[in-house]
A and B are shown apart, each in its own frame.
Chain A
Amino acid sequence: MNQTEVGFVKSVKKFLAHLDGFPTVKVNDIVENDQGIRGWVSALLSDCVEVLLVDEGNIQPGQIFRLTGNRLTVPVGQFLIGRAINPLGIPIDGKGPISKTKTTPELDIDQPALGIEHREFIATQFDTGILLVDSIVPLGRGQRELILGDAHSGKTEFLMNTIVNQKQTGVICVYASIGKPISEVRNLLDTLKKNNAEGHTVVIAATSSDPAPLIFLTPQTAFTVAEYFQRQGNDVLLILDDMGIHAKIHREISLLGDRPPGRESYPGDIFYQHAHLLERAGNFKPDSSRPAGQSRRGGGSITALPVMELNLNDFTTYIPTNLMGMTDGHMLFKSSLHLQGQRPAVDISLSVSRVGSQTQNRMHNKLATKVKQVLAEAAQLETVSRFSFELPMTTQLTLKQKDQINELIKHPSLSYIPKEVQMIILSLPFTNFFRVTDKDFVQKNKDRIIASLLIDKELINASKMVTTLKNEEEFIKFVETVVTPRLQRLTAPPARIVKPVAAPPPPPVLKKESFTDKIDHLLHKQVGKGGK
């Protein structure tokens, strides 16, 4: 005799079913009917059980669902690296089934965030390899930074660049694609493959054509996978793209379930849904509960980058302000800057990182502060400069430095710049070398300068010494002495090759006429005339 708990369908609304039965069911238990259609228990009401269906199919009142005994879990392991799965752990990349065994752990996707006693101060910088971010809006390992921006402002490009650059740092990347079109997910997978980024990336994707409950589960699964790698002692980058769609899906499910709508028709627990997710990120202590002698696990970090696409004319709406309140800073991407060629198109004046500066190298921090001061001063002076014909030298210099800095922070696509090289680049506008050049010079020679800083052995050795310097004056002096001479030679215009021209014939040597010769000459002239 086999005993299971069952429930009968009382009513169905699209992906939401109310079932009668299941005396001991718990929230997040999985139920399944005879056709294999699965659902998960989302609420226990007074007279029925609310189930969200994750598979599509024909559900009718009176159908019977059985309790499977499973909860919402996802299999985790090293086999996930390089794979793309859906929120239930089913592969979607066409590379065959995932290689899990009977001993593969299956983790609950809805886990509570660890408490304060398990966390550590965020002290290590997260390297994106992008000059603007690492210098001016730095991130720390374990930080949560919101990526805000309007459509076509380069957010995805920035995220791809960051993922590809983690090849250099050993950070594992988990990318959650929440409700995006299938074509975008395909492009994402192809880009990762093309740039050899699959070897350190896991993709969790629910496309826009998947049932809403499946899309809703995506960030939870992504966090579970990230936590698995973090507990192995790894640093993890988790990207949630995008949380605006997640909020809309939650709203759709709640309205269908007759929950009372709140502000902008979002359900009352929308803040809780996002906050309890984002709290799972952080910098964690090693697991001190393991006995002595066993290798200490844990101690990794999860750096979360939730993304939100919105209309930048008004980013004070409900969801963006919620997300800003639960993250450690935000980066604002603008499509206008993107069209002007600034990549990443981050508006520095409106972006903030509340935790990053404590992780930044002291010298890097000072240089970045100097750059920010120049940019702020230039913003004020630009208005004044429109009304003056002749600007003082200091104003002209500041405006020129601002143009040069704006050129230098434009990042070449899918490239990685180490922090030491970034420091040198940031200091260049304050050197005499750049003082006599202009924006066009920087535009023409920036790529060569960066390439030489990455390839030239002498410059590489020089860049390794920069962290030993004490203050920015010493730094700039060091750059002037060691770095700029090589850069000057590199960027000097090439010498013109002149064709050898035939030497002109020597001028005729004029005999000096004597006095008698002059008289004779004159007389001959007179005779010539008289003869006629």
Chain B
Amino acid sequence: MNPKLSDLILRSSFTQNEAIRKLTVLKDYLSSKIFGSEVTQSKWSELLLEENRAWFTGLDSAFLEQINAQNMETVFQEALSEIKKIEVLTIFTAIELPEEEVSAVAVYLRQTYGPNFLIDVSIDPNIIAGAVLTWKGVQKDYSLRQKINQNRKQILGLLAQYVGSSHQ
């Protein structure tokens, strides 16, 4: 059952933060249900934020019934450690990408590299354009900044030529 909970969470989460957030929401619901007053999934979803509602209502209630007072803590701890073990691909972009773009990238990566793949998108305007990818401690720079730095001499030479010719 244990990997299933993390699989369940990861199925609909592309970033580590999102996965941990969903795990917390689920734990709150189950704690209330098991240790507090009787509450239904649909009633609980009304209390959630918009972004969590669709995912929460789509959860398999039969699976959730298997989690009880004795195993709840263990199940969630193991699910959290599974999620944290996954290496996150950090993508630096110059501008904020729309959510659909991020999802499309994540889906492509999962199709290519496997289902348990998480990404993290950060914004760094200094890269000008393109992207910088960081994975397992190695950074690969595909940004415009790096290209300009690589060809600095030629660019400055061309600029100098241009300035010289325009003065003439």
Contact = CB atoms under 8 A, between A and B. Distances in A.
A276 B140 CA distance: 39
A11 to B, nearest CB: 15
B138 interface: yes
B89 to A, nearest CB: 13
B138 A3 contact: yes
A3 B137 contact: no
B134 interface: yes
B139 A6 contact: yes
Interface in B84-139: 90, 126, 134, 136-139
Interface string A1-41: 11111111000000000001111000000000010000000
Interface string B6-31: 00000000000000000000000000
B150 interface: yes
A362 B140 CA distance: 70
Contacts of B139: 3-6, 66
Contacts of B141: 1-4
B134 A3 contact: no
A172 to B, nearest CB: 41
B88 to A, nearest CB: 10
Nearest to A64: B134
Contacts of A5: 137-139
A36 to B, nearest CB: 14
Contacts of B138: 3-6, 23
A20 B90 CA distance: 13
Contacts of A6: 134, 137-139
Contacts of B140: 1-3
A23 B150 contact: no
Report which residue of B134, B140, B146 has the largest number of chain A beta carbons within 10 angstroms of its beta carbon. B134
Contacts of A1: 140-142, 146
A265 to B, nearest CB: 34
Contacts of A66: 139
A12 B141 CA distance: 26
A2 B142 CA distance: 7
Contacts of B126: 34
Report which residue of B137, B141, B142 has the largest number of chain A beta carbons within 10 angstroms of its beta carbon. B137
Interface string B133-163: 0101111111000100010000000000000
A29 to B, nearest CB: 13
B139 to A, nearest CB: 4
Contacts of A8: 90
Contact of B137 (A2, A7, A34): A7
Contacts of A2: 140-141, 146, 150
A21 B137 contact: yes
A118 to B, nearest CB: 39
Interface in A58-81: 64, 66
B147 to A, nearest CB: 9
A45 to B, nearest CB: 14
Interface of B: 90, 126, 134, 136-142, 146, 150
11 contacts: A3-B139, A3-B140, A4-B141, A5-B137, A7-B137, A8-B90, A21-B136, A23-B137, A34-B126, A64-B134, A66-B139
Interface of A: 1-8, 20-23, 34, 64, 66
Given A2-B150, A4-B138, A8-B90, 16 more contacts: A1-B141, A1-B142, A1-B146, A2-B140, A2-B146, A3-B140, A3-B141, A4-B141, A6-B134, A6-B137, A20-B137, A21-B134, A22-B137, A23-B137, A64-B134, A66-B139
